[in-house]
Structure formats: C-alpha cells, structure tokens
Homo-oligomer: A and B are copies of this chain.
C-alpha cells in the first residue's frame, strides 16, 4: 500500500465499510404519504393501502381508526404510484373528434358518469377531424396506461388499429359500424342512414336532390349510401356542397344558393347535421321557397330545439345516450373479466315532423 498512515476517518470506521451511499435528496417532502398515515394510525403501510383498495379485508376497528387518521390528515393516495405498482391506472381514455356543439357530448357525458360510478376516471382526448396527428395522440393516451379506450368512429389507419389491438386492453368503437371492429363496437351504419334518407326522398317523388355536408368520415359514409341508393333509382345527378367541419347554421345558409346554382330544379337537400338543415331552411324561407312542399330538407342529429323551432325539417335521430351507456357497460364487463366480444347496432330512426 503506498499510504498506510492513519486516516482521518473516525476511530470506528472499519476497513471493510462499504462506501457510504450518497444521500440524494429529491427535493424534500412533497406531501403526505401512506407511511405518514400508517405511523399515526399505528399500522403498517399495507394496511392503509387495504383500507382504500380492499376494505373488507381489514378489521372493522382498524378500518375506522385508519379512516379517521386519513380524514384528519387530509391524505389523498397517489394514484400515479398506485397505478405503477398495481398496473391498474383506473383510467379510461375517450377519444372524440370534438365535444363542442356536438352529438358526442351527450355520449361522453353518460359514459363518463357511468365510468366514474364504477371507480374509473376519464381522460379526454380530442382528435379533431383530421387524422394527421392521430399517432401522436395515441402515444399520449397510451402513455397513461388506460385500462380501456372509447373511440368515436372506427379507427381509420391500419397502423392505428394494429397498435390498439396489440395493447391488449378493451377497446370500444362507437358511433359507426364496421365488419371488422378492433374489439367491441356500439354504433350504427351511416351508410344505411344515407340509404334510408334517399328512400324517403324517393317516396316523396324527389327528382333533383342535393346534399350539404362536412367531410368527416361518417358524413362521407352517409353520402355514399345516399348516392348509391339514388343511383339504383336512376338518379345520378346530385348537387353537392362539401365543407370542412364544424358545420354550422351559417354554412347551411350559404350552401343553398350554391346548390341551386348546380341544380335550379332542386327539390330536396340532405344535410350533414341539423345545424346545416336549419341554415338551409332559413335561406329557403328568405327566398320564398316552401318547405317541405317545394323543397324537402333532411338533417341529422334530431336536436330537441330543432323539432320545436323547425317542424318543417325531417331529421335522423340517434340515441347518443344509449351509445354512451352501452359503451361504458361493454368496457366494464371486460374489466370484470367477461370475455365475450360485443357488437351492438343501436340503429337510428327518421323523424318526420310534419306530414308531407
């Protein structure tokens, strides 16, 4: 040894002593931990954990005592830690194009209510109507390790579908229909909606139909059904105005002159939403066109106020509340271990408010 002089260490230092571990403070106490509660209540941390997650397994008086300490201290468990440890985030992601002025908001409302009654919380992810950044959005969502996912519409890209399938958590697609769902599905066929509206128009003797719609996936499916059904009846010329979402009353207003320019004899318009329909209706009135005798107008969504203020409109009603509740139930069943796949067609109904 090059240097065997006595060291400066205290007398009790031992030759074999491991290097003292560097104490790295991480910024001091951030708040109450489960150990704080345990110490005050005179139990182990595990018991405190059980009080929250499995109270039946704790003796009644222990339970009571711990609960009082929890309440007195104002302790709130850290679910980031709990989720990491248990692999149960108790989080469900809801991916929706938009919740503003939208049919989806009531679906999300009841979905969220149902989920929170079952002890889950909802992470809201707004996808917009473009799918440019959907991969990024999905990364953000999956990084929270949700235990289930509600999708609005059927996922478009194969890559997305593949990824969702592979995470191995229950997925429920809503508000649309497909033969190849990722997992579960609660929705209806927009294609058939289009067909059904076309049939109504045909039954009325419509010869020169038009359509106004935003260009989101489901609206396109409705348009396709509409067009194809009309084509089978020999009608191929359809006036068409396609706009970027979100649709609105004012877009409806401006679209009518465009449709009339394409088809001066226009006698029916299928609108992508009730808002568009209201706009078209208002503009028709302004031009002295009688609805529905000269121009039939069909909307989509069956908004309550529309039925009150615009009884001349026909529309397509969908039970958004039922979709939300069913979607929640599907996920919850799976989370309880039920394994069956599940596709529910909730259908739709055409609301003819005023006899033709």
- Could you list which residues of chain A lie within 8 angstroms of chain B, going by C-beta atoms? 27, 30, 74, 76-84, 87, 89, 94, 98-102, 105-106, 108-110, 112-113, 116, 121-126, 128, 137, 139-145, 163, 166, 248-250, 253, 274-275, 278-279, 282, 303-310
Q: List 7 A-B contacts (CB under 8 A).
A: A77-B143, A109-B126, A249-B307, A253-B308, A278-B305, A305-B305, A306-B309
Give chain B residues whose Cβ lies under 8 Å from the Cβ of A307. Answer: 249
Give chain B residues whose Cβ lies under 8 Å from the Cβ of A304. Answer: 101, 248-250, 275
Give chain B residues whose Cβ lies under 8 Å from the Cβ of A310. Answer: 309
Q: Is there contact, CB below 8 Å, between A113 and B101?
A: no
Closest to A88 in B: B80
| A303 CA to B274 CA, complexed, in Å | 14
Q: Is there contact, CB below 8 Å, between A124 and B123?
A: yes
Which 9 pairs between the two chains have the least Cβ-Cβ distance? A309-B309, A100-B109, A100-B106, A79-B143, A124-B124, A80-B84, A80-B83, A76-B142, A249-B308
Give chain B residues whose Cβ lies under 8 Å from the Cβ of A102. Answer: 105
Give chain B residues whose Cβ lies under 8 Å from the Cβ of A142. Answer: 76
Give chain B residues whose Cβ lies under 8 Å from the Cβ of A274. Answer: 305
Give chain B residues whose Cβ lies under 8 Å from the Cβ of A27. Answer: 87
Q: A116's contact among B81, B98, B126, B163, by CB below 8 Å, is which? A: B126
Q: Is there contact, CB below 8 Å, between A121 and B121?
A: no
Closest to A142 in B: B76
Residue picked from A105, A108, A274, most chain B C-beta under 10 Å: A105
- Once A105-B105, A304-B249, A305-B305 are accepted as A-B contacts, the answer to whether A123 and B123 lie under 8 Å apart by CB is yes
Give chain B residues whose Cβ lies under 8 Å from the Cβ of A137. Answer: 116
Question: What distance in Å separates the Cβ of A27 from its nearest Cβ neighbour in chain B?
Answer: 8
Give chain B residues whose Cβ lies under 8 Å from the Cβ of A84. Answer: 78, 80-81, 84
| A173 CA to B110 CA, complexed, in Å | 24
Question: What distance in Å separates the Cβ of A75 from its nearest Cβ neighbour in chain B?
Answer: 10
Give chain B residues whose Cβ lies under 8 Å from the Cβ of A275. Answer: 304-305
A-B contact sample (10 more), CB < 8 A, given A78-B143, A113-B126: A81-B84, A82-B143, A99-B105, A100-B105, A100-B109, A101-B105, A105-B105, A278-B305, A278-B308, A306-B309
Residue picked from A77, A80, A82, A109, most chain B C-beta under 10 Å: A80
Give chain B residues whose Cβ lies under 8 Å from the Cβ of A248. Answer: 304
Q: Is there contact, CB below 8 Å, between A139 and B105?
A: no
Q: Is there contact, CB below 8 Å, between B109 and A99?
A: yes
Give chain B residues whose Cβ lies under 8 Å from the Cβ of A116. Answer: 125-126, 137, 140
Give chain B residues whose Cβ lies under 8 Å from the Cβ of A306. Answer: 305, 309
Give chain B residues whose Cβ lies under 8 Å from the Cβ of A140. Answer: 116, 121
| A307 CA to B141 CA, complexed, in Å | 38
Closest to A106 in B: B100
